[in-house]
Structure 1
């Protein structure tokens, strides 16, 4: 990703980080504290959350600290991407839609994706046609909650473009109207200053007009393969050589491949191979089929001893 898109920001899924951490250090308190670190919106809150994580498990704290914070913690996001999602749900949803076409040949898979997009664009367009207002329905819902939370804060103007914003929970921050904090915008409007409606301060990517523009272009239908024009490409693309692998159906499902390349039994202990299917040799009579604990008067030559 860094080579192909050197200017793009790369983020990790916090859920996957949690699962990797649980392989070495388990505990609900540890997992919950990791999410507290990821959800922290300021660097100070993040540092305090990391200190609490260290108190719970110092080794886990050292392991998490090696992961760049700007790839998984909200407090360190640059803001270029106008989302603070900590999961890779977008990729998971896309992958789930390709399940039916994933095992097909490349042309069939691409045709499946094209037809899915063609139908998906129509479904979303119907929802867009029902919407009204400046923002998308999801953005409107989130924005109303933000307005409710902002009403609990008090903004004090210093006369030079800066505000002291405080809450009843003893939180206090210094912001400016450029930061587009809603309680500061309301204070600016109440002071009679020229300021647009609060909805217009929302990033354009959350506006209904942007949503409409995204789905303005549609995917064209195609004729069947028999109607496709022949390619002028002088090369013939051949499929890769296929090698049929031998599969022992009698043992299928009973064996697993080890990292070293050998075959190990599922019930074998760590560091030891299973003795299943191996003939047992008696240490007393040297005959096969029994051991020294079950030998009954058998000699080395296989003769029966006298009473």
Structure 2
């Protein structure tokens, strides 16, 4: 048997040993010879060397008899061998789990492999498939040249890659069907004002935004981004994400009622409703009210945003949706990440155009669905016409003025969105006209097709990229944070896990220190002196006795007389018997402490105990009422109450 070189010979012997469940070790591995043996006393041995002056390896001695048992934990199964053996599996199944890999190795080779070795093997296989980070950054100039050839990138991107980068930033819009429309994305070194200024400067030049008049930006409260927008587009409207504002506001105002009042104020579309909501907040908590007013409400409340954008969006959910759609792509190297994003969006454009081509109406389907829902809600609204195409719409105690000619309403919903509000639809229904004719042209199918007229172009493979003789871009310094890298979006404290929506979180639960018994920290970080815990008083054991009802429930008869209700009478008598039995048990226990005759004033029971034995006789049951009246007073020790008997039972004369 011959091989091209020593590495091929060694790899073949290793694979043979693993498949047959044998553990061999290579005693000698050199350029011109190789020797492998099994653990003694097994006589198995292989010797191979170079044939004459060639580089071909040939096995010249082979003792193929094994008398050793099968190895169930073969150490020859290394991470590199697993990566090469399962390379095609990882290529076809990128999300192949380590747990499935371990089961497959156990079934095929009857050997168990350490989990850390499997994770390392997966990392090696991924690096073999994707290449190293250095290789990707070295190909960036050629990749940019190919994108320019396909007219997919602007020349200003060259400036970005000259320094090395590490964070993905993006600009996402919303199309006429209320779907996300990614506009631009790039990699920057860090998220600061300098990088945001460069990115927005390139975007403004490419889209001809100029000073920003008529444009609207929505973002979180990142200081660098806010300063960049105000500097480069001073006339643009810059809204803040209301959810990000709420998360900062909630740190000091965590009550659930305040959360409802916050969103009620934020979603109020006209000033009067907004003022009413913040007054309710002021009554609930003055500190929360002052904190809310001090956060520049004109940037995140619908009552103050501009109506020129044809959108009432006050959150950055569309950007979060785009971020969630590229979670898997963000975990790859830079070129593979860009390629997956480009291919996904290129395919998405085709599917959306195919879907919209089946629409026969004037308005996009998602907008039509929203209008139909508002039509159904408008059944409770009454429209009263006035001169000039105006209407007065009544609903309960509210009145709104609608102008169909100007397509406006005093609730400002129609003004903000360009879609008729529920009041406007009530007026349209009154005139028996088509509601789609009153929708803004932005939501029409023709405008939608115009937006997708120019799409992403396909590009050639890596082997056909143009060669660029320039300085090779080096990757940035990777700052590894402690712990396992997180890919999923961090959920808000009150946000539920979609996999376990019924599971409750311990968010907001304050821990109690077992050392000083104060809240806010635990015993590990406690710096206070230990405090002795006061033990709680133990309650009385047993079931508590039921109280005797003072009067029975009475009902009137048809003749005017009052009779006792039979069911209530039975239950009251049963309770009385239970209390009487419990009282007798206590009285018997007190009677055993004395000798003679003992009587109790409250219950009227009389007991007798002889000195010769410990038995207590209930005299009321043993003798009749007439004979009990003849008992001499001299034989009775004392007639006392239970409280007096507990203190000291009195003994009478033995008769």
- Fold-level match, TM-score > 0.5? yes
What is the match of residue 57 of structure 1? 285
Q: 1:122 and 1:60, CA in 2 relative to 1: closer, same or farther beyond 3 A?
A: same
**Residue deviations 1:180-223 (CA, integer Å, cap 9, x gap):** 53333444x46xxxxx7321110112222222222233321110
Asked if the contact 1:134/1:208 (under 8 Å) is kept, the reply is: yes
Q: 1:154 and 1:223, CA in 2 relative to 1: closer, same or farther beyond 3 A?
A: same
**Bigger radius of gyration, 1 or 2?**
2
Among 422, 426, 430, the residue aligned to 1:183:
426
What is the match of residue 43 of structure 1? 271
Q: Which segments of 5 or more consecutive residues in structure 1 lack a partner in the other structure?
A: 191-195, 254-265, 273-307
Greater CA deviation, 48-57 or 9-18? 9-18
Among 415, 420, 436, the residue aligned to 1:199:
436
Among 23, 27, 33, the residue aligned to 2:261:
33
Q: 1:5 and 1:103, CA in 2 relative to 1: closer, same or farther beyond 3 A?
A: farther
Measure, in 2, the Cα distance between the counterparts of 1:243 and 1:164: 64
Greater CA deviation, 32-41 or 153-162? 153-162
Measure, in 2, the Cα distance between the counterparts of 1:244 and 1:81: 40
Asked if the contact 1:73/1:86 (under 8 Å) is kept, the reply is: yes
Asked if the contact 2:393/2:402 (under 8 Å) is kept, the reply is: yes
Measure, in 1, the Cα distance between the counterparts of 2:311 and 2:359: 22
Greater CA deviation, 178-187 or 109-118? 178-187
1:10 Cα offset (Å): 2.2
Q: 1:229 and 1:22, CA in 2 relative to 1: closer, same or farther beyond 3 A?
A: same
Q: 1:7 and 1:270, CA in 2 relative to 1: closer, same or farther beyond 3 A?
A: farther
Q: 1:243 and 1:122, CA in 2 relative to 1: closer, same or farther beyond 3 A?
A: closer
Measure, in 2, the Cα distance between the counterparts of 1:60 and 1:94: 33
What is the match of residue 295 of structure 1? none
Measure, in 2, the Cα distance between the counterparts of 1:142 and 1:206: 12
What is the match of residue 278 of structure 1? none
Among 221, 239, 253, the residue aligned to 2:474:
239
Among 165, 172, 178, the residue aligned to 2:393:
165
Among 297, 303, 308, the residue aligned to 1:80:
308
Measure, in 1, the Cα distance between the counterparts of 2:458 and 2:232: 31
Asked if the contact 1:101/1:113 (under 8 Å) is kept, the reply is: yes
1:35 Cα offset (Å): 0.8
Q: Aligned runs of 1:1-307 on 2, under 5 Å? A: 1-167=229-395, 169-177=396-404, 178-180=406-408, 181-187=424-430, 189=431, 197-231=434-468, 235-239=470-474, 242=477, 269=525
SS in 2 for 1:173: strand
**Residue deviations 1:211-250 (CA, integer Å, cap 9, x gap):** 2222233321110122112347xx52431564898x9xxx
Asked if the contact 1:176/1:184 (under 8 Å) is kept, the reply is: no
Q: Which segments of 5 or more consecutive residues in structure 2 lack a partner in the other structure?
A: 1-228, 409-423, 484-521, 529-655
Measure, in 2, the Cα distance between the counterparts of 1:54 and 1:114: 49
Q: 1:238 and 1:28, CA in 2 relative to 1: closer, same or farther beyond 3 A?
A: same
Measure, in 1, the Cα distance between the counterparts of 2:291 and 2:256: 17
SS in 2 for 1:143: helix
Asked if the contact 2:385/2:392 (under 8 Å) is kept, the reply is: yes
**Residue deviations 1:126-156 (CA, integer Å, cap 9, x gap):** 3213322121111111101222333433333
Asked if the contact 2:362/2:436 (under 8 Å) is kept, the reply is: yes
Q: 1:85 and 1:108, CA in 2 relative to 1: closer, same or farther beyond 3 A?
A: same
Asked if the contact 1:12/1:71 (under 8 Å) is kept, the reply is: yes
User: Normalized per residue, which structure has more strand?
Assistant: 2
Give the total of aligned pairs: 246
**Residue deviations 1:78-113 (CA, integer Å, cap 9, x gap):** 122223234321011111122222244433322222
Measure, in 1, the Cα distance between the counterparts of 2:461 and 2:263: 50
Q: 1:49 and 1:131, CA in 2 relative to 1: closer, same or farther beyond 3 A?
A: same
Measure, in 2, the Cα distance between the counterparts of 1:95 and 1:65: 31
Q: What's the TM-score once normalised by structure 2's chain length? A: 0.35
